[in-house]
Amino acid sequence: MKSHGYAAHDKKAPLVPFRFERRDPRPNDVVVEIAYCGICHSDIHQVRDEWGNATYPMVPGHEIVGRVTKVGTAVRKFKEGDLAGVGVMVDSCRVCENCKASMEPYCTKGMVGTYNAHDYAGELTFGGYSNNIVVDERYVFTISPKLNLAAVAPLLCAGITTYSPLRHWKAGKGKKVGVVGLGGLGHMGLKFAHSFGAHVVQFTTSESKIADAQKLGADEVVISKDAGAMAKHAGSFDFILDCVAAPHDMNAYLKLLRLNGTLCSVGLPETPLSIAPFAILGNRRSLSGSMIGGMNETQEMLDYCAEHGIVSDIELTSIDKLAEAYERVVKGDVKYRFVIDMATLPKD
Ligand code: NAP
Ligand code: ZN
Ligand code: ZN
């Protein structure tokens, strides 16, 4: 099947128009015509080879929403014209313990990423900065027509990556929960933690984001550079979700956890983190990580958002403005997720 989109060809050059082929749909595949695709900081890390695993040409994008234009003969969940979403993964082994428990990101064979990955047949995968995508229906989500479609796109990565750990560590009524970094992931974490009924403290390095954080549901906002303001919260949090994309001092947040509290890092800075042993030993604290979320949980999150009217706060952009969007994301200057309007992709 013919596809076209924008690709990176090395870690320095800007993304440019790119024609490529996708597999013809198999019996279980759906073809989704992409309407919108979010820009995740992971796209930037990978395009710039900050994780050291870049394979070019790379068509990024894993916050994909659109309409089904074709279904294979065995497809049950979708028909032509349905709304559909694709997230960070497009396949997994389906038979390991973790896949059977719908914990597909932790597939023991290794899940297949939506882009910058090789599928089990060895073909390079291409993501959502493109006109269409072919995916097995098991890895495609149903999307409610109730919500603004463009603002749903970021739920497919930023949404599930924050929803999953907040659910796992039971952020809710009676819990004091911190969210670090008010970016694409952070603003969704804040919305979910607030919606689940927790007392939420937003940590930010940006004084200009205080009012927004309050509007998004923060009970308190702390400027993380203010040592005095940080010290007031020492030993008081049940759970802190760290959504920062750059190297920073995690010990400062570990110290804020109460007995048995957990700091979960979903951010993926390119350099190793440095942890002071005393920061975790006090209060028997835990440091953890979390990777997107399983298929069932992602659908649960999308349904929860439709029921509660939760979407991402977005700035719609066009495919020819990727370089500008990337620069602004890196500066923390986006409110709070860029979404590419795929109608701006040249027809061919
Ligand atoms: P983003 O939109 O750029 O947000 C990151 C936020 O971190 C910024 O808005 C900023 O918030 C804060 N920040 C930036 N530089 C900082 C610094 N030097 N020190 C302290 N704070 C800083 O990024 P994102 O798309 O939300 O992604 C966040 C991270 O999660 C990335 O590393 C991404 O690769 C990773 N990720 C992981 C998963 C997973 O499965 N675990 C999934 C998706 C993304 P303030 O202005 O409020 O300080
Ligand atoms: Zn992502
Ligand atoms: Zn598996």
Residue 209 CA, closest ligand 1 atom number: 47
- Average pLDDT score over the chain: 97
Q: Which of 243, 291, 326 to mutate to test the pocket of ligand 1 (most atoms within 8 A of CB)?
A: 243
Burial of 74 (0-12, 13-18, 19+ CB in 10 A): exposed
Count CB neighbours of 271 within 10 A. 8
Using CB distances shorter than 6 Å, the residues near ligand 1 are 40-42, 45, 157-158, 161, 181-186, 204-206, 209, 243-246, 248, 266-268, 290-292, 329, 332
- Please say if the pLDDT value at position 284 is more than 80: yes
Gap from CA of 95 to ligand 3 centroid (Å)? 5
Give residue-wise pLDDT tens across range 34-73: 999 999 999 999 999 999 999 999 999 999 999 999 999 9
pLDDT confidence bin for 159, thresholds 50/70/90:
very high
Positive or negative, the CA dihedral 283, 235, 160, 62 is negative
Ligand at minimal distance from the CA of 153 is: 2
Q: Please give the pLDDT value at position 347.
A: 83
- Please say if the pLDDT value at position 88 is more than 90: yes
Give the predicted TM-score (pTM) of the model: 0.98
Of 311, 340, 342, which is closest to residue 152 (Cα–Cα)? 311
- Please say if the pLDDT value at position 219 is more than 90: yes
Gap from CA of 291 to ligand 2 centroid (Å)? 10
267-293 average pLDDT score = 94
Gap from CA of 342 to ligand 3 centroid (Å)? 32
Give residue-wise pLDDT tens across range 319-332: 999 999 999 999 99
Ligand at minimal distance from the CA of 292 is: 1
Q: Is 314 helix (H, G, I), strand (E, B) or coil?
A: strand
- Please say if the pLDDT value at position 11 is more than 80: yes
121-130 average pLDDT score = 98
Gap from CA of 1 to ligand 2 centroid (Å)? 26
- Please say if the pLDDT value at position 77 is more than 90: yes
Of 62, 51, 64, 63, which is closest to residue 11 (Cα–Cα)? 51
Task: Say what percent of the chain tops pLDDT 90.
Answer: 98
Give residue-wise pLDDT tens across range 163-210: 999 999 999 999 999 999 999 999 999 999 999 999 999 999 999 999
Residue 329 CA, closest ligand 1 atom number: 3
